[in-house]
Amino acid sequence: MVLPGELVKVRLIREHTSYLLAEVESILESSPFRVKPRCDYFFICGGCDWQHISYEQQVQYKSSLLHDELTRMSPDERAYSHPDVASPRWFGYRCHATLQCSYTTEFLSGFFKKASRDIVVFDSCPVLNDTIQSILPELRTILNRHPIYSVTSIEIHAPQDELLVLVRCRGSLSRHDLKTMHRIYDELPIAGLSFVSRGDKRRDHVLGQRFSSYEISSGGLNMNISSGFGGFMQANMGINNILVEHLMNLVQSPEIIMELFSGSGNFSIPLSFAAREVTAIERNSRLAAQGKLNAKKNSAGNVKFIAMDALKAMQLALNESLHFDTVVLDPPREGARHVMELLPKTPANKIIYISCNPSTLSRDVSILRKAGFSLKSLRFFDMFPQTYHIESVACLER
């Protein structure tokens, strides 16, 4: 919780060869960027990291961390950087959340404490959007009155007005559990409810919708995208729109695009309006199927979704000598190291890499640089205000 430039008194906890672990006892000289956190639970809850830093300085710190990481791996190359993109909303922006759950004498739900598996039960959370917060008290009331003791977590999606709720349990679901599921669906204003149990032969029980919709507006286009249970959804819809527009500006029509880790089309559908052809690769067959429906819904006839692992898709593309000009990829936090090793062997001259982890981005960019690509642009998007998480887009050209 200490900011650069602060003078603090600490208590030594543990000494290692190259670093020390210590706990702050008091702040002697405070940073001018230190502010009072908006959340009463901030100092114990593990959901947020940076509410004690002014928002403008959060953006500056993250941008510096991103560029320092990239130049550390590529010290001889300075990419042209676009202006940083701050979030339109600093609070109330999160459109999905996963609450951890347990039962003691009552039902508990919340986020984990910092460096702990204990649960912080909160009355309200300033980073969650109003739609999610509106459902929490009633959901807790039902699960207190009609306990499902096997519940481990509750995932809530609310990109706009529709609410999807995914309840994860361990063990098999009983009749009582299924009755409670119907009670939740009937009594709360939710569009879709899914119960997933590891011990149940039926993998999930679904009432209502599996997918909820949200709007993307870019370049005069308005697109309606659906995403749902088991799929990745951007946390910040305001930033998502700006990021999509940036991607569309990076591609130059007519291009043939291969997109990896495509999900249900958050990027694929908009890119199809800026390119001649888009092939979207997504390992999750349910999301790939939803992507096909999204393409049809938006009259995007030049995009096709294929349910396949990204690495396998690249190997197949090389074996069959498939042609594409550009690769767009949005891998998970661990990056796409093995895919990077194959990309230089493809005909692609441009690679657009959306990243949520500067360390793996730096590693993967370094692989491409050694194979003859150069980093042409790098832009930071603050998808996650009040946290240290960094979303960025790197564009490389052969």
pLDDT in tens, 84-109: 999 999 999 999 999 999 998 889 99
> What backbone phi and psi angles, to 5 degrees, belong to 103?
-120, 130
In sequence order, which ranges of 146-205 are alpha helices (DSSP H)?
175-187
Mean pLDDT value across residues 151-169: 93
Q: Please say if the pLDDT value at position 151 is more than 70.
A: yes
Separation of alpha carbons 359 and 277, rounded Å: 31
Which of 291, 362, 287 has its CA nearest to residue 69?
362
pLDDT band at 147 (very low <50, low <70, confident <90, very high): very high
What's the pLDDT score for residue 179? Answer: 95
Separation of alpha carbons 387 and 235, rounded Å: 12
Read off the pLDDT of residues 43-81 as tens digits, 9 standing for 90 and up: 999 999 999 999 999 999 999 999 999 888 766 556 667
What's the pLDDT score for residue 71? Answer: 85
What's the pLDDT score for residue 232? Answer: 73
What's the pLDDT score for residue 89? Answer: 97
Task: Provide the mean pLDDT of the chain.
Answer: 93
Residues 223 and 255 sit within 8 Å (Cβ to Cβ): no
Read off the pLDDT of residues 117-142 as tens digits, 9 standing for 90 and up: 999 999 999 999 999 999 999 999 99
SS3 38: coil
> What backbone phi and psi angles, to 5 degrees, belong to 387?
-130, 170
- Alpha carbon separation from 26 to 6, 22, 262 (Å, rounded): 11, 12, 47
Give the full edge-to-edge strand order of the sheet including 256-260: 80-81, 374-381, 391-397, 350-355, 326-329, 256-260, 277-282, 303-307
**Bridge partners (DSSP) listed for residue 85:** 381
Read off the pLDDT of residues 341-397 as tens digits, 9 standing for 90 and up: 999 999 999 999 999 999 999 999 999 999 999 999 999 999 999 999 999 999 999
The size of the chain, in residues, is 398
Residues 230 and 194 sit within 8 Å (Cβ to Cβ): no
Percent of the chain with pLDDT over 90: 84
Ranges assigned E (strand) in the chain: 7-15, 20-29, 80-81, 96-103, 107-112, 119-120, 151-157, 164-169, 192-197, 204-208, 211-218, 221-228, 256-260, 277-282, 303-307, 326-329, 350-355, 374-381, 391-397
Under 8 Å CB-to-CB from 34, ≥6 apart: which residues? 3, 6, 27, 52, 53, 54
Number of other CB atoms surrounding residue 255 within 10 Å: 18
Sign of the four-CA dihedral 297, 302, 307, 309: negative
- Residue ranges per structural domain of the chain: 66-89+235-397, 96-158+163-208
Does domain 66-89+235-397 fall under CATH 3.30.930.10? My reply is: no
What's the pLDDT score for residue 254? Answer: 80
Mean pLDDT value across residues 326-344: 96
Q: Assign residue 165 a region: left if phi > 0, alpha if psi is -120 to 50, beta otherwise? A: beta
Read off the pLDDT of residues 217-238 as tens digits, 9 standing for 90 and up: 887 889 999 887 767 778 999 9
Q: Please say if the pLDDT value at position 194 is more than 80.
A: yes
- Alpha carbon separation from 176 to 6, 24, 34, 180, 203 (Å, rounded): 55, 48, 50, 6, 18
Under 8 Å CB-to-CB from 177, ≥6 apart: which residues? 148, 150, 169, 195
pTM: predicted TM-score of the whole model, two decimal places: 0.93
Read off the pLDDT of residues 302-321 as tens digits, 9 standing for 90 and up: 999 999 999 999 999 999 99
Q: How does strand 350-355 pair with strand 326-329?
A: parallel
What's the pLDDT score for residue 324? Answer: 96
Mean pLDDT value across residues 200-229: 83
Q: Please say if the pLDDT value at position 323 is more than 90.
A: yes
What's the pLDDT score for residue 253? Answer: 77
CATH number attached to the domain at 96-158+163-208: 2.40.50.1070
Under 8 Å CB-to-CB from 227, ≥6 apart: which residues? 157, 159, 211, 212, 214, 233, 263, 264, 266, 287, 290
What's the pLDDT score for residue 202? Answer: 59
pLDDT band at 243 (very low <50, low <70, confident <90, very high): very high
The pair of structure tokens assigned to 257 is: 């695009």
